[in-house]
Structures are given as structure tokens and as C-alpha cells.
Amino acid sequence: MKKIRQLLILALLLFLAGFFAKAQEPAAERAVVSFSNPAKPGTLEVGLHGGSITVRGYEGKEVIIEARWREKLLTRKETELAEMAEEEKDEEEIAKEKAQAARAKGMKALQVESTGLTVEEEENVISVEVELGKRSVDLTIQVPYSTILKLSNSEGAITVEKVDGEIDVNSSEGPIILTGVAGPILADCSDGEIKAIFSKANPGKPMSLSAMDGDIDITLPADVKASLRIKAEEGKVFTDFDTQLTPSYQKKEEDERKGGGRYRVAFERTSLALINGGGVEIKLNAYEGNIYIRKAK
């Protein structure tokens, strides 16, 4: 009986802890915006400087944006900048901060910050911005399936799920995760992996995925017709498709002599892999990571 009572008390404490933790979470700032011409695919543009961007396709016609402060106060880059600023403070600034700390002694700090979420729509383009602040911001956005995406994040993850439109994503520091996409896709990641699971590969425009310091891991439908141009500087290439790499050279020529400039010709060595006889062109470029090309089960 005593053991049962202890378990009940523990369960109650865990429930209350979860309840209060949830109650203390900052409320999301939310905006619902329509494209001016919903009959055509609209474009979503997002630029973030720390936090995360998550975009999910859904059956609706409106774009639903939620912005929420993250509990983490400072990102790594922001911490480094803050430390540099701390070292550069003069005596007057230090004295002012000490005076402010003394004035606030015995008082509690209240969180009165806002993400500064700003959403604009013009000519079927919705742009999303948040203010630079003390904490990172997590954006969660729902869009119609056919929406065109242009996303960038200087520090943090970018995640896209179930979007059939063109996708252009750039992450300076953080992974890029694409699931249930069709392309065309342009993905560039400086420090982090790129993972893409294609529901299909739309023909037409070529696609390009490039990672400076991280792996590239893509999954393609088993019946896809694709021509892969692959370049792996220091890593290796793995696949379970029945294909063979063929070395190829791409000639790049620049002639600016008419304007007093220079002439330059360079031959870039890549490898070509044809899947099911070839088709949509997909460029994969990894500098320090491996490349994985998977067949969907």
C-alpha cells in the first residue's frame, strides 16, 4: 500500500511539473496570410539568423506562420559576439551596467520580449522576418503543397516536409532535412548534412545539392530516371542502385579580354551516374563528407 501511494505521488508530481513547464512556455506569435493569386503557386521567402525553420505542406490555401522564442538564450555565434563586445567595453559602460544591476537588486526580471515577427505579401510572394534578439526563434510554417520556397538560416536547421514546388535552401551552420519533396531543389549547406527523401523527381530544371562540411544523403524512387553528376573531394560515394560511375569533364571558359580583363579556361572533373538510363540532372557536391544515394523501399 505504501509503495502504491509513493507511485501515485510521483505520478502527480510529474504531471504537475509537465503542466507548469507547458504553462510557462512562451506563446507563439501567429499570422495567417493568403496569396494574392491563389490560383498560381505562391512563393515563400524566409531569412533567419538563428533558430530553426520548419515548413510543411498541407491541403489549405493560406500560409500559417508561428514564431516562438527558444529557451536557449544565445546561439554560439551570438555568444562569441557577446564575449567580444564584453572585452571591448570601456570604463563608462562597465560603470553604467553596475549601476543598473544595483538598481535592480532584489527584483525579478520579466520576459517582455517579442519575436518581432513581420509578414508581408506582395505579387504572390510572402516574406517572413523576425527581429534579432537575445534568443533564437523557431519558425513553424504551413504552406500549400505547390508553394515555391526560398529559405535561409545563418545558424540552425531547415526542415521541409511534403512540398512539391521549387525549393531553394541555404544554411550556413545547421542541417537541411527535406522529406517528401519533388523538386527542383537547390540546397547549399556550409556546416551540416543535407538529407533529402524524394517522393518523385520532377523533370525539367536541374537540381543541385552541395555540402562543404557534412554528408549528402538522398533517397530516390526506385523507378526514377536520373543523371547524377557527382563530385566528392575528400569523401566516398555509396549507392544501392544498379549503376556505375563514369568520369567526365566539364569545361568552364571565361573571356573578359575585350573589357581589359583576363581569359580563363578550367576543366572540372566530376563523375556521371545514370539511373534507369538517365533523366533529370542532379548535381551532388560534397567537400569533406560522404555521398549516399539510396533506393526507396
Same domain, 142 and 191: no
Tell whether 39 and 133 lie within a shared domain. yes
- The answer to whether residues 200 and 180 touch, using CB atoms and an 8 Å cutoff, is no
Residue 33, in any domain of the structure: yes
Residues 145 and 181 in one domain: no
* Average pLDDT value for the chain: 83
Is residue 107 located within the same domain as residue 71? yes
Question: So what's the pLDDT on residue 54?
Answer: 97
CA atoms within 13 A of residue 291's CA, in its CB half-sphere: 24
Position 217 scores a pLDDT of 96
Q: How far apart are CA 168 and CA 151, in angstroms?
A: 6
Number of residues assigned to the chain = 297
Regarding whether 185 and 139 lie in a shared domain, the answer is no
Distance between CA atoms of 147 and 46, rounded to whole angstroms? 13
HEC sequence for 196-253? EEECCCCCCCCEEEEEEECCEEEEECCCCCEEEEEEECCCCEEECCCCCCEEEEEEEE
Q: What is the pLDDT of residues 14-32, one digit of tens each?
A: 444 444 444 445 577 899 9
pLDDT tens profile 42-63: 999 999 988 899 999 999 999 9
Pairwise CA distance, residues 181 & 200, whole Å: 7
Number of domains in the chain: 2
Residues contacting 245, CB < 8 A, separation 6+: 230, 237, 271, 272, 273
Domain that holds residue 54: 26-150
Q: Which three cell numbers stand for residue 114?
A: 517579442
Which residue, of 97, 115, 150, is where some domain finishes? 150
Q: For residues 136 and 180, state if they share a domain.
A: no
Contact 66, 119 (CB under 8 A): no
Let me know whether 123 and 181 are in one domain: no
* % the chain with pLDDT above 70: 80
Residue 168 lies in a domain: no
Q: How much is the pLDDT for 13? A: 44
Do 197 and 283 lie in one domain? The reply is yes
* Domain identity same for 110 and 197: no
Regions of the chain where pLDDT drops below 70: 1-26, 71-87, 109-115, 133-135, 248-249
Q: What is the C-alpha to C-alpha distance for residues 152 and 158, in angstroms, rounded to an integer?
A: 8
Which residue type occupies 291?
I
- Both 30 and 134 in one domain: the answer is yes
